[in-house]
């Protein structure tokens, strides 16, 4: 961290003093009734609605032990039917329960199971059900020494290979939201995992972030906030933990940031969420990530292009990459035969329209027209695609049609 960012950190802490004394973190979102126990995908959500559910464990090459959930069929099983596997990969700072927070007719995980698919749910390293490691614990700083580079290089292939192996060698339909789209695009750009994937669905792709509309996210990036907390020795970022509290105290010193509606400030004005689902999301789906991962995301906002993690100087980059700047993920090199369904919203602050159009121009320019489908939903923001009450009609119906054709 340089002197300027350190000075900015101290200045903003001072400006946040009055906000600290007169505000409460409880006022930043919808008022929700306290929950007595955390949601679990299998034991709470699937069991409540009569769905079968399995727990699987997968160990990555770098030693992280990941939880993988499976709903092999719907409530009413059709005998002697071959079910194509689908893998759902969640976004940043959530876990797989985000796919089943609504009723069976609203939640994508249940809709796919009832629609004849064998549904698998990934949970990245650091989330509540994936915090084990072969030699480290979450209390070890080294446990959090990763970014989405490692999710693409280790978590994603380990999970996909497990699903492939446990479903008779069938190729897998992949559905990612937000960060889940970034890691599959990164893998495809290096021509990895193509032998395991049947098609890819990208909900709110965030490959390019240079023009993100979130003032909160931009301010945090501008003042090198994640870098500052890393410099101070923090390694884990829990969105409902003490580090998050301190970060908000700093950010909310800026009068342009609306800290009483953080959901909108970060993701955009969602059109189609009901209060109970939002409360379920805030209470049960939010999960930890690494501070280093947030630094990597900040680098994507600060600089154009999709690159590996920048270690901050040519010497360190040379040590890791044998070149002074981090290598680019060349998304234009993604093979044109991979079927893709891409959907995005006009109100999304993270997967904003200009950045998503940049991605579309990169992919559509070379992609086979029969293998690319794009769905634009003008009123949707980031969370609508996962927990919107009308997503089954607007998004999931066309998506399932796409999966069935491929």
Give the chain's count of helices (H) and strands (E).
18, 11
Residue of 98, 129, 178, 298 marked catalytic: 178
Of the candidates 68, 72, 70, the residue with the CA atom closest to the CA atom of residue 83: 72
Q: Rg of the chain's alpha carbons, rounded to an integer? A: 21
Pairing of strands 118-122, 85-89: parallel
Residue of 155, 348, 352, 384 marked catalytic: 348
Consecutive H or E run containing 220: helix 215-222
Are 213 and 352 within 8 A, CB to CB? Answer: yes
- Look up 296 and say whether it is catalytic: no
Are 392 and 105 within 8 A, CB to CB? Answer: yes
Instruction: Please name the residue that has the structure tokens 């003008």.
Output: 378
- Look up 214 and say whether it is catalytic: no
- Look up 270 and say whether it is catalytic: no
Separation between Cα atoms, residue 203 and residue 375, nearest integer Å: 10
Q: How many CB atoms lie within 10 A of CB 374?
A: 14
Long-range pairs, 125-128, Cβ under 8 A, ≥24: 125/60, 125/64, 125/66, 125/150, 125/151, 125/155, 126/236, 126/287, 126/288, 126/289, 126/290, 127/67, 127/95, 127/287, 127/288, 128/38, 128/95, 128/287, 128/288
Residues in a beta bridge with 259: none
Residue of 73, 177, 230, 382 marked catalytic: 382
Active site residues: 178, 348, 382
């Amino acid at each position: 961290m340089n002197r300027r960012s350190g000075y900015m950190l101290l200045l903003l802490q001072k400006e946040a003093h009055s906000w600290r004394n007169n505000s409460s973190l409880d006022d930043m979102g919808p008022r929700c009734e306290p929950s007595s126990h955390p949601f679990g995908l299998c034991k709470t959500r699937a069991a409540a609605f009569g769905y079968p559910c399995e727990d699987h464990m997968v160990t990555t090459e770098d030693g992280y032990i990941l939880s993988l959930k499976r709903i092999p069929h719907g409530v009413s099983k059709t005998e002697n039917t071959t079910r194509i596997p689908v893998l759902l990969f969640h976004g940043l700072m959530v876990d797989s329960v985000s796919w089943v927070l609504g009723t069976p007719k609203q939640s994508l995980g249940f809709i796919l199971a009832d629609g004849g698919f064998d549904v698998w749910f990934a949970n990245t390293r650091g989330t509540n059900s994936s915090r084990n490691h072969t030699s480290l614990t979450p209390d070890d700083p080294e446990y959090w020494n990763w970014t989405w580079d490692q999710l693409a290089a280790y978590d994603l292939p380990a999970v996909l290979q497990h699903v492939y192996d446990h479903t008779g060698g069938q190729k897998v339909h992949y559905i990612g939201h937000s960060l889940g789209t970034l890691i599959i695009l990164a893998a495809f750009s290096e021509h990895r995992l193509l032998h395991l994937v049947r098609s890819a669905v990208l909900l709110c792709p965030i490959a390019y972030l240079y023009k993100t509309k979130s003032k909160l996210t931009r301010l945090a990036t501008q003042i090198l906030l994640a870098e500052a907390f890393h410099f101070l020795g923090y390694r884990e970022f829990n969105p409902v933990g003490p580090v998050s509290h301190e970060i908000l105290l700093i950010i909310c010193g800026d009068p342009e940031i609306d800290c009483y509606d953080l959901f909108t400030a970060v993701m955009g004005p969602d059109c189609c969420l009901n209060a109970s689902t939002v409360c379920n999301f805030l209470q049960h789906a939010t999960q930890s990530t690494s501070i280093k991962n947030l630094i990597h995301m900040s680098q994507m906002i600060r600089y154009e292009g999709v690159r590996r993690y920048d270690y901050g100087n040519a010497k360190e980059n040379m040590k890791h990459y044998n070149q002074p700047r981090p290598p680019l993920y060349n998304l234009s090199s993604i093979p044109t035969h991979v079927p893709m369904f891409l959907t995005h919203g006009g109100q999304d602050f993270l997967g904003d329209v200009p950045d998503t159009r940049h991605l579309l121009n990169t992919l559509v320019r070379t992609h086979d027209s029969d293998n690319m489908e794009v769905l634009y939903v003008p009123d949707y923001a980031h969370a609508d695609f996962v927990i919107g009450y009308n997503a089954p009609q607007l998004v999931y119906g066309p998506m399932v049609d796409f999966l069935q054709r491929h």
